[in-house]
Amino acid sequence: MRPNRPLDLESAKGDVSGVWSGNDRDHINHIGNIICDANNLPSLSVRVVQIRRTNEEEPIKAKSFGPLTYVAWLGFILSAMLLGISIHWRDGMSIISTVLLSLLSSLIGLGNYWKLKLPKRVTKSNKNAQGTNTRNWLPGSPKITSDKPSDEEATKEDIKAGEDCEAAVTEQGENPKKPEDHAPPGDVVIRYPKGNFLVVRCHEDVARELYFAPEEIEYLIQDAWIYRLLSLVGTMMLMGGVICLANARIESQIAWAGSYMLLGAAYWIVAALPQKIHWDTSCYEVIPEALADSIAHTKTNLVSKSRKYPYSKSKTFTEALWKAIVASKDTDWVRRKDHCPHTVAWDEWLQEAKDCTTDFWSPMEEEDKDADHKGNGLTTWAIPPWDPSANLQRILKKYKDIKARAKS
């Protein structure tokens, strides 16, 4: 038993940015990473998905009948067999050792039993709050509505941001926002260490639960002194069990050695399995989407069925960043997480990239898709005819010439 227990789940490497919400994280939450990721794709790839919650009441939890459950039953069966063999051989030391070490396993499980707690965003529907003082992001009304007189001196930038968010709201399709909820869309862009991008289109509640809210572990035994007392009792039981086993018959010791080798191998195999198979994520639905140049990626392993989902492959990081901008329809998230250098040339490139996406807010019509995407039923996003690398070189050359003329 460990002296200290973890307080949260292990996170994955990556930068998470909320496109419209402004939220940022320098890591990927464990649950968000196992539900959908792009780290297993080739370098500089871009994947687009939509994540919806199919059941608001059902929580994310460990599978009731997962691999660990079967290993636990294997341990119980082995303990029962060892106890029966010890009684048959009239080996008192082996009987005591079996009882102590079997109860030790149950004691460890009791001390480390926990549930996952994901905080939810408080809205009017679950707080019974009176009065409203929220920004109305519904299409056609980017103004601020309030019980008090609103400030009519909104800047052009605020209005433009409201219009962009309105378009993103209408873009959510099958995942509409709740009538009383005026938060901006929860679209998220995730950058992985290999230069891959994952664009997630989702509701703000989904984004906060999966990517921005802390993943808290709620233990059954929360008091530290009680847990340490259990650790002391467990240590004494372990020492007593080992001493008794050392004085047992050689036949009992051989049976114990074989049982522990089998059980240890089972735990090693379970630890090597993908993390996703240990969790019940049926309350979320991942809907793949595609860019116009996407190709199919086939994911197969021994414990799950073969699955295909589209991704877009890029030759350079600039091209991958451009495609992520095309899918997200905004560039503010690029600056917040330093995905490109802070120079005037890159600022101009980002502005041009954003301007090129203004006419491509809606998905492609079926008749506009090429032969590879027609009839696949996926939401497909067109890529504007704009060369990101060539335009970046043009802008860099322009500012290089300006500096050269300034020096001469």
**pLDDT digit string (tens) for 212-242?**
988 888 899 988 889 999 999 999 999 999 9
Select from 64, 2, 12, 59 the least CA-distant residue to 34: 12
pLDDT reading at 6 higher than 70: yes
Which of 78-87, 119-128, 340-349 is least confident?
119-128
Residue 320 domain flag: yes
User: Is 113 found in the same domain as 100?
Assistant: yes
The residues that bridge with 380 in the sheet, in sequence order, are 290
107 within 8 A of 231, measured Cβ to Cβ: no
The DSSP result for 97-161, as a single string, is: HHHHHHHHHHHHHHHT-EEEE------HHHH---S-EEE--STT--SEEESSPPP----HHHHHH
User: Is 311 found in the same domain as 167?
Assistant: no
Look at residues 337, 366, 386 and tell me which one is the last residue of a structural domain: 337
The residues that bridge with 28 in the sheet, in sequence order, are 12
Which of 11-25, 183-197, 297-311, 380-394 is least confident?
297-311
Mean pLDDT of 113-136: 56
**Quick one: DSSP state of residue 6?**
-
Full 3-state SS string of 178-231: CCCCCCCCCCEEEECCCCCEEEEECCHHHHHHHHHCCCEEEECCCCHHHHHHHH
Residue 192 domain flag: yes
pLDDT tens per residue, range 84-113? 999 999 999 999 999 999 999 899 999 999
User: Is 108 found in the same domain as 168?
Assistant: no
Residue 64 domain flag: yes
**Quick one: DSSP state of residue 388?**
H
In whole angstroms, give the CA distance from residue 222 to residue 142: 47
Residue 157 sits in which domain range?
A: 122-182
Residue 273 domain flag: yes
User: Is 192 found in the same domain as 167?
Assistant: no
- What total of structural domains would you count in the chain? 2
User: Is 142 found in the same domain as 86?
Assistant: no
User: Is 229 found in the same domain as 105?
Assistant: yes
User: Is 58 found in the same domain as 33?
Assistant: yes
Look at residues 337, 371, 401 and tell me which one is the last residue of a structural domain: 337
User: Is 315 found in the same domain as 277?
Assistant: yes
* Identity at 153, one-letter amino acid code: E
Give the global pTM. 0.77
Angle at 347 between CA 343 and CA 350, to 5 degrees: 135
Q: Could you give the 3-state DSSP secondary structure of residue 58?
A: coil
- As a dihedral over the C-alpha atoms of residue 387, residue 389, residue 395, residue 396, rounded to 10 degrees, the angle is -170
Q: Which tokens hold the place of 96?
A: 């005591």
**Quick one: DSSP state of residue 175?**
S
The residues that bridge with 312 in the sheet, in sequence order, are 46
The residue with greater pLDDT, 289 or 184, is: 289
Task: Give the DSSP H or E segment for 16.
Answer: strand 12-18
Look at residues 337, 355, 385 and tell me which one is the last residue of a structural domain: 337
**Quick one: DSSP state of residue 372?**
T
1 within 8 A of 108, measured Cβ to Cβ: yes
Please report the pLDDT score of residue 24 as a whole number: 92
Please report the pLDDT score of residue 320 as a whole number: 95
pLDDT tens per residue, range 290-303? 898 888 866 655 54
User: Is 4 found in the same domain as 141?
Assistant: no
* Identity at 81, one-letter amino acid code: M
Q: Which tokens hold the place of 314?
A: 């890029």
User: Is 214 found in the same domain as 142?
Assistant: no
241 within 8 A of 19, measured Cβ to Cβ: no
Residue 215 domain flag: yes
Q: Could you give the 3-state DSSP secondary structure of residue 357?
A: coil
Please report the pLDDT score of residue 159 as a whole number: 47
Please report the pLDDT score of residue 7 as a whole number: 84
CA 208 to chain centre: 11
pLDDT reading at 148 higher than 50: no
Residue 98 domain flag: yes
User: Is 173 found in the same domain as 126?
Assistant: yes
In whole angstroms, give the CA distance from residue 66 to residue 50: 27
Residue 405 domain flag: no
Residue 315 domain flag: yes
* Identity at 201, one-letter amino acid code: R
User: Is 98 found in the same domain as 232?
Assistant: yes
Which of 209-213, 301-305, 352-356 is least confident?
301-305
In whole angstroms, give the CA distance from residue 146 to residue 153: 15
